[in-house]
Structure 1
Amino acid sequence: MTPLPLTPAQTRLQALVGGGVLLLAAGLAFGAVSIPSAAGYAGAGPNFLPWVVSIALAVCGGFLIWEAQSGGFRAMEPPSDTAPAYWAGFVWVSAGLLANAALITTIGFILSCTLCFVLAVQGLRGAEGKAGIEPATWLKNAAIGLAISAPVYWAFTQFLAINLPGLTSTGWL
């Protein structure tokens, strides 16, 4: 199926997406300026990764604008106006992110990230049409969240010597 040609309004909206990505890159670069650049392990300082991400976002934003101006996003299916937005999923994922931000210094990185994972998965499962309110599903998601967040915490605190909020002062929880 060949996509229909885009209207100028659709092309402008697509270029705005690229502009938003460029704005995000500029915001990240602005934040990276305030991070000290003293070289750490392997000559990379703490501001290295924010700069890499901001440059990658800038390249992607520029490419999105070029793509929109040269004919629009290609091979994109036309939107179907029949499917309404799934706001409950948005609420679940937002609640997970906000709970993580609010609780990370209280209950520690591992538990707050696990909670974020559980709530986000609940929202995404709902968007797929899977209810998932059974306790076994919640426990399975919590176990997966722990299995992801604990090694990440340990890698950062024990191996990279980066302080993350923990539940105890041992550095292992």
Structure 2
Amino acid sequence: MLKRVTGEQWIALGVILISLIMAWQITGISQSTGYAGIGPRFFPSVIAAGLLLSGVILLVQSRPSKHPATEDQTQDPDHPLDYAPPHPHWRMFGMASAALILHMSLISTLGFTLASTILCFGICLALETEHKIRDLILSFLLVLGLFHLFKWLGLNLPALITGGVI
């Protein structure tokens, strides 16, 4: 007997299909390494592999469980579940979106490090973390490390100071 495919399984299969199409399209990118130490296929390949892994994990998690599917089978009829569907956090979404838009508009003037620090810290504010100073310092250190990692890989990012320290 064939089992019905659920919506979650369709999404998982769609993610897997997108990753396979992306992997197929990557073969059309030229193999030359150019000025960077890694080739132009590297990051798209990492993304395609991550999508494939995510799709497989989604597919495994979307398997039908052996537990009862309805509330009638799981609860005593005299004591129904007190469950309300979650509401979207529009304030968090707005703050995260504003941080991203601010990052995109400031990266050419402030440079990668400061603009990305604002983005990281803005996401921390949107998630309502309690330690603001720690979050700001860690955001700066994380982004500074990323800046120097990209510099070590031979990729140039916009810098605030000519010479590319920050």
> TM-score w.r.t. structure 2 length?
0.68
Give the secondary structure class of the aligned counterpart of 2:6.
Answer: helix
What does residue 165 of structure 1 align with?
158
Residue 108 (structure 1) aligned with residue 111 (structure 2) = yes
Aligned to 2:137: 143
Aligned residues: 148
The question of 1:12 aligning with 2:25 is answered: no
Per-residue Cα deviation, 1:30-57 (whole angstroms, up to 9, x for no partner) = 774565422479x852312321320331
Q: What corresponds to 1:89 in structure 2?
A: 92
SS at match of 2:137: helix
1:26–1:89 CA distance, 2 compared to 1 (3 A): farther
Counterparts of residues 4-153 of structure 1 (less than 5 Å): 12-22=6-16, 25=19, 28-29=22-23, 32=26, 35-39=29-33, 44-65=38-59, 67-68=61-62, 70-71=63-64, 80-125=83-128, 138-153=132-147
Deviations 1:6-61 (A, max 9, x none): xx6xx6321243145236536754774565422479x8523123213203312432
Rate the CA distance shift 1:52–1:155 in 2: closer, same or farther, 3 A. closer
Which segments of 5 or more consecutive residues in structure 1 lack a partner in the other structure? 1-7
CA 1:109 to 1:65, structure 2 compared with 1: closer, same or farther past 3 Å? same
* Counterpart contact for 2:38–2:153, Cα < 8 Å: no
Query: In 2, Cα distance between the equivalents of 1:105 and 1:34?
Result: 31
CA 33–108 in structure 1, closer or farther in 2 if over 3 Å, else same: farther
What is the Cα deviation at residue 164 of structure 1? 0.9
Distance 1:121 1:57, change over 3 A: same
Deviation (angstroms), 1:139: 4.1
Over the matched positions of the two proteins, sequence identity in percent amounts to 24
Q: Which runs of 5+ in 2 are unaligned?
A: 72-82
Q: Which has the higher helix share?
A: 1
Q: Against the structure 1 CA distance between its residues 14 and 30, is the aligned structure 2 distance closer, same or farther, given a 3 Å change threshold?
A: same
Partner-residue secondary structure (3-state), 2:8: helix
